[in-house]
Structure 1
Amino acid sequence: MLHLGAQGGWNVCRGVHGAHRGDLRAAGSDPAGGGEAVIANLAGLVLAVLVAVYMAAALLFPERF
């Protein structure tokens, strides 16, 4: 639902701010709480590499599996 915003512009909803007023957060890394995602991504990468190595070994040496 459209309504007239506080600055006289039309907004789609009350919680959305227009980019022309500079209300948006600047792009960049968020220093608070970003470490857990990095650890999870690294753990996923390690597991993916281990599975890929296991599958390649199973294809090359099927008699051992």
Structure 2
Amino acid sequence: MSRRCAAALSGRAAGARRACACRSRSKRSRSGERRAIGDWIAFYNHRRPHQALDMRTPAEAFASAA
């Protein structure tokens, strides 16, 4: 993985963590945070349509390209 790609992924994960932390007023356990981030990533890749992918999800775009 390139350094640029790794930085983008870590930045996205940090954004997900901040978003999850903002939604919950109480502190979450580390495992709760991991679960919340995993849920967010699943939503992002499988349910949220992306304009750059002609309103398809990344999972749909990947499946059609394979």
TM-score by length of 1: 0.37
Give 1 or 2 for the bigger CA radius of gyration.
1
More helix by share: 2
Q: Scaled by the length of structure 2, what TM-score is found?
A: 0.36
